[in-house]
Structure 1
Amino acid sequence: MLRPMRRVVWWFFLIWPAGALACDRPVCGVDPQELSLARLVDFEDMAGGYGPGRLYRQAIEADGVSFGEHLAGQSRSADGPYDRIDGPATPPLRLGDVPGGALLSITRVGKSSVLNGQGPAGYPKREAEGEGAIAILFDHDQAALSVDIVGGEGGTGWFLFLARDGSVLDRHDLTGLGEETRAFRTPGMEPRIAALVITNDDPEGIAIDNLRFELIRQMGAIGLGGDARATYVLAHVVSIALPPAGPDTAHPSR
């Protein structure tokens, strides 16, 4: 006798960040609250100063990341008082040298230290401060990052993302810059971002602060930040054999 079969539906609930399945470009802009990031560079433990700040003629090294003006192999030019950095870089990735060595400055703004790129006018001129490029080179490829923009006055910022082989992953043109945090991630949270170059045309220039990176992964899944999450439900149907009817299993007669 064939045994009757019962179809049992098992439900699985998966928690995933809102929008995590909707990223349709190599690097996507996201709400910073969606990300949990383990490392922070806030420049507080680096020598800085008020006014034009403390000039750095060499790359700035931090834990897991370094800062310069551009990557070796990229093209450099001036657009009025602003730096322009374009194109892919030459592998293996490394920060490029700058003639004259005036790269970056760390400036005290209130109780915080921020990082400025020095533009073509040159340190310590005011029109140079914040109008130069900032290149960020990670020791290891990143799946997500966020950074604070300081001093934006409505201009445009260009965020150029590069892979470890020097190729350009993506470019984001961010208009209407203000005091804000910008966050980015790759589709599927795959670590692909090796470097980021930031340029701008803001009337007052911009600085950066509070670079966060190194995605937290928990139990093989991504770390979730804030309340920005969505629930996706999957159903799996299983058929199991039932034992033959007997005194203990038969339905009582009605």
Structure 2
Amino acid sequence: MIRAALILACLPGLAGASELRKVPYDSLRGQPHRIETFDSLPSVTEPGINFDQHWRAPGLSIAERLLGQGVEETDTDFGRFDVLNGGPGAPPRVIPGASGQNFTIAYHDGFGSNALFPLGPVGFAGADGRGEGSIAFTFDDPQFAFGLRLHAEYPDPLGQRPMPRAAQVAFYDVKARLITRFVLPLGRGVISLAWRSGYGIAAVTIENTDPGGIAIDDILYEVEDLSG
């Protein structure tokens, strides 16, 4: 179970909690949309296919961070992780990480399909490097509805694995201004996440401190709203 659906941090931004709404993922998927599944690549088990460049899909780009941001390492009791610092430049643009520290795409048992693993400081070769990195998305056109599926940890009926921890998600507009930033407590298994925003979302960044790292799949965007 997710311990809380969403914790909004008290940080400056264009939008408050009332202007960013968490909505059911399937409510967006039921509308005409684009979705990036990473299944255009061969299904390869971990460590998967290493990408030192950005990923490009129609209307969507993915890499480690946004232009203007730096990345540092934080060393914790439960792993080594990427931490983003600095503000992005306008318009937002994704920038790959160092070789072997950007992301990998591999078959993921939890999703039953390919997924993206952001690579942390340990890098591509180490199991404890896959999932501990930061990741950034940019959209060609501002999005008012957006979703993804995230996996933090497998079910653990014997209680032998550490508890999942948290991710920090930030949304930016086309001028690279922070819309909002929030902390998302993570749970076991696949978490489906989706939001609607009163401001057009041009970029998203995700960092995490989960002991097992995270994987991302089924990025949902260019949702056509049929309500009107």
TM-score range, shorter chain: 0.7 to 0.9
For 2:43 and 2:81, the matched residues in 1 are separated by: 22
Q: CA RMSD in A?
A: 1.9
| Aligned partner (choices 51, 54, 77) of residue 56 of structure 1 | 51
1:197 Cα deviation after fit: 0.6
Deviations 1:183-238 (A, max 9, x none): 11113xx5x1001111111110010000111121337x2xxxxxxxxxxxxxxxxx
1:175 Cα deviation after fit: 0.8
| Aligned partner (choices 22, 41, 65) of residue 60 of structure 2 | 65
1:92 Cα deviation after fit: 2.5
Gaps of 5+ in 1: 1-22, 222-254
Identify the residue that residue 88 of structure 2 maps to in structure 1.
Answer: 89
Q: Is the 8 A contact 2:90 2:174 kept in 1?
A: yes
Matched, 1:170 2:180: yes
Matches within 5 A, 1:6-85: 24-35=17-28, 36=31, 38-47=33-42, 49-80=44-75, 81-85=80-84
- Are the structure 2 counterparts of residues 37 and 146 from structure 1 closer, same or farther at C-alpha, using a change threshold of 3 Å? farther
Q: Is the 8 A contact 1:135 1:195 kept in 2?
A: yes
Task: Give secondary structure in 2 for the equivalent of 1:137.
Answer: strand
For 2:195 and 2:85, the matched residues in 1 are separated by: 20
For 2:42 and 2:101, the matched residues in 1 are separated by: 16
Amino acid of the residue matched to residue 186 of structure 2? G
Identify the residue that residue 118 of structure 1 maps to in structure 2.
Answer: 119
The list of structure 1 runs, each at least 4 consecutive aligned residues, that deviate by more than 6 angstroms after superposition, is none
Range with bigger deviation, 125-134 or 167-176:
167-176
- Are the structure 2 counterparts of residues 40 and 97 from structure 1 closer, same or farther at C-alpha, using a change threshold of 3 Å? closer
For 2:215 and 2:32, the matched residues in 1 are separated by: 21
Amino acid of the residue matched to residue 76 of structure 1? V
Identify the residue that residue 133 of structure 1 maps to in structure 2.
Answer: 134
Q: Give me the TM-score of the superposition, normalised by structure 1.
A: 0.71
Percent of pairs identical after alignment? Answer: 27
Deviations 1:135-188 (A, max 9, x none): 11111100011100123352101111111111111112111333210111113x
Matched, 1:185 2:196: yes
Identify the residue that residue 249 of structure 1 maps to in structure 2.
Answer: none
| Aligned partner (choices 159, 164, 171) of residue 154 of structure 1 | 164
1:94 Cα deviation after fit: 1.3
Q: Is the 8 A contact 1:93 1:166 kept in 2?
A: yes
Gaps of 5+ in 2: 1-15, 154-162
Q: Is the 8 A contact 1:148 1:180 kept in 2?
A: yes
Task: Give secondary structure in 1 for the equivalent of 2:222.
Answer: strand
Task: Give secondary structure in 1 for the equivalent of 2:146.
Answer: strand
For 2:141 and 2:131, the matched residues in 1 are separated by: 27
For 1:112 and 1:43, the matched residues in 2 are separated by: 8
Q: Is the 8 A contact 1:122 1:128 kept in 2?
A: yes
Identify the residue that residue 14 of structure 1 maps to in structure 2.
Answer: none
Q: Is the 8 A contact 1:157 1:177 kept in 2?
A: no
- Are the structure 2 counterparts of residues 180 and 117 from structure 1 closer, same or farther at C-alpha, using a change threshold of 3 Å? same
Amino acid of the residue matched to residue 224 of structure 2? I
Matches within 5 A, 1:189-204: 190=199, 192-204=200-212
Q: Is the 8 A contact 2:100 2:123 kept in 1?
A: no
The count of residues paired between Structure 1 and Structure 2 equals 195
